[in-house]
Amino acid sequence: MTGYVLRIERCAVHDGPGIRTTVFLKGCPLRCVWCHSPESQDLQPELMFREDRCIRCFECVDDCTLGAISEIGGLPVLNEAICRWCGDCADGCPTDARLQAGSVMTASRVLQEIERDTIFYDQSGGGVTFSGGEPLLQPDFLVRLLDGCKAKRIHTAVDTCGAAPADVVDRVADLADLWLYDVKHLDDAAHRKATGSSNRQILDNLKRLAARGANVRVRFPLIPDINDDLDHVRRLGQFLASLGLSHVDVLPYHRAGTGKYAALGRDDPLDGTDAPAPHVRTDVLRILTDCGLQAAVGGTP
């Protein structure tokens, strides 16, 4: 079985307990305006071009057997109508100015990569985290990977936005040891405006997981002028507490994705937006704590 993988990151410490290997899968049903990994949104592999690293050697023009890259105005320009995303141009780029985001991998290959770090999992109480994109978008592939980890007694976490059919959530819930569950906004209209999709399925799935006693740790991306209203934060805290959930990680907006949008030839929807001010973070943590939640800034320690 094969799936679309963005990258595999080793020695991660903010994606669940202990030292972890994070497997980022490609594809996401949402289009969050603050997304810091826009290269993860499309299911298919993509090419990225970082002009500031290009030395104008035009190796990529020579490497492309389809003739999809041409020299135009002193730059190697990609014709997407011809490109078949083979990655030859990225492989030959001496400065990594041209990169391929994503590749097709077999489940057995991914499991081999995961098993390489078993010693770190054993010593730190860590494991593997499946993230994205949205890992639930490739349910069969994800279940195969979770099955393989379970057979090896490797702790698993699924980092998700929760936008998936209920039966997919149930299949994964039987295998995942931990859920890192994004809740972006409680108001459906505001959620649609910020992500392009309704939050109803997302909130229903969170209720579903809480009712079955799944190990869920909520993640709340704190985005200026989108969901940082303190009344909204209070309602969020009350909602999570009403489900019997106890932990929430506040993830303040950052601008790490700005250069990635440019490399993909897209505009950054939140260009110019700054990270939340320190006093806003403090107020958010206080409100969530007052709701009876264990709240912290950043990922899972």
Statement: residue 42 has pLDDT above 70: yes
What is the pLDDT, as a whole number, of residue 240? 98
The answer to whether the beta carbons of residues 181 and 130 sit under 8 Å apart is no
Asked if residue 200 and residue 55 are part of one domain, the reply reads: no
Strand partners, 15: 300
pLDDT at residue 47, rounded to an integer: 87
pLDDT of 201 over the 80 cut: yes
> Could you list the residue range(s) of the whole structural domain that residue 252 is in?
2-43+103-297
Question: What's the rounded mean pLDDT across residues 266-294?
Answer: 94
pTM score > 0.85 for this model? yes
Same domain, 252 and 120: yes
200 & 277 share domain: yes
CATH classification at residue 93: 3.30.70.20
Last residue of a domain, one of 101, 116, 134: 101
Considering the domain architecture, whether residues 198 and 96 belong to the same structural domain is answered as: no
29: CATH: 3.20.20.70
Local confidence band at 301 (pLDDT 50, 70, 90 cut-offs): low
Number of structural domains in the chain:
2
Asked if 21 contacts 114 with a C-beta cutoff of 8 angstroms, the reply is yes
For the stretch 47-90, pLDDT in tens is 899 999 999 999 999 999 999 999 999 999 999 889 887 888 99
pLDDT tens per residue across span 147-168: 999 999 999 999 999 999 999 9
Same domain, 34 and 51: no
Both 185 and 293 in one domain: the answer is yes
CA distance 158 to 181: 8
- How far apart are alpha carbons 97 and 52 in whole angstroms? 8
The pLDDT, as a whole number, for residue 129 is 98
Of 55, 77, 101, which one is at a domain's C-terminal end? 101
Do 152 and 287 belong together in one domain?
yes
